Amino acid sequence: MLQWNVAPALTTAEVDDLMLFARRPDASGYTYADVWAASTAYPLSTIRTPTVSNGYGYYVTTAGTSGVTQPTWPTVAGSTVTDGTVVWSLAGSYLWTPTWNLRAAASEGWRWKAAKVAAQYDVAAGGGTSFTRSQQYKQCIEMARTFSSGVGAIQMVSGYTGRSGS
């Protein structure tokens, strides 16, 4: 859908960012919740999951900064855990089924590819020879338009769960 490694190529980090952009709520209404991170400031009501899923989500009831090691996450209703200066409360089961809108990712990816070639220009040489580099930009924009149709309606499921370490 994107031909990410064909010129103008996207980096693997950019492809990861596109997949993060394309995350959608699953059929049960769950959305992706980022995983816990060490030494991170968390505002009130932030939701996170353990780095290794235990099927539960946790929300911040006392804002603060997480500790250097992950706490032992409780699994009993009404439980809390202190983590550095953050207090987390068990939010309940949290089993997001990985769901993405790949058309949205492809459309946005083609826009990013277009941006990479936007400064290219057309050159005309003597004898009627011309080089039209701007066609690449136009083709990328057309692909973005093609994939943008139906962006709100089509969701696809895959095994991708997000950028490494996030």
Locate the domains of the chain by residue range: 12-26+98-157, 41-93
Q: What does the block give as tokens for 128?
A: 């009627």
What is residue 7's DSSP assignment?
S
- Give the model confidence (pLDDT) of 71-80 as tens digits: 999 999 999 9
pLDDT at position 53, please? 85
Q: What does the block give as tokens for 35?
A: 């995983």
Q: Residue 45 burial (CB < 10 Å; 0-12/13-18/19+)?
A: exposed
- Give the model confidence (pLDDT) of 101-139 as tens digits: 999 999 999 999 999 998 877 777 777 777 777 888 889
Q: Which pLDDT band, with edges at 50, 70 and 90, does 151 fall under?
A: low
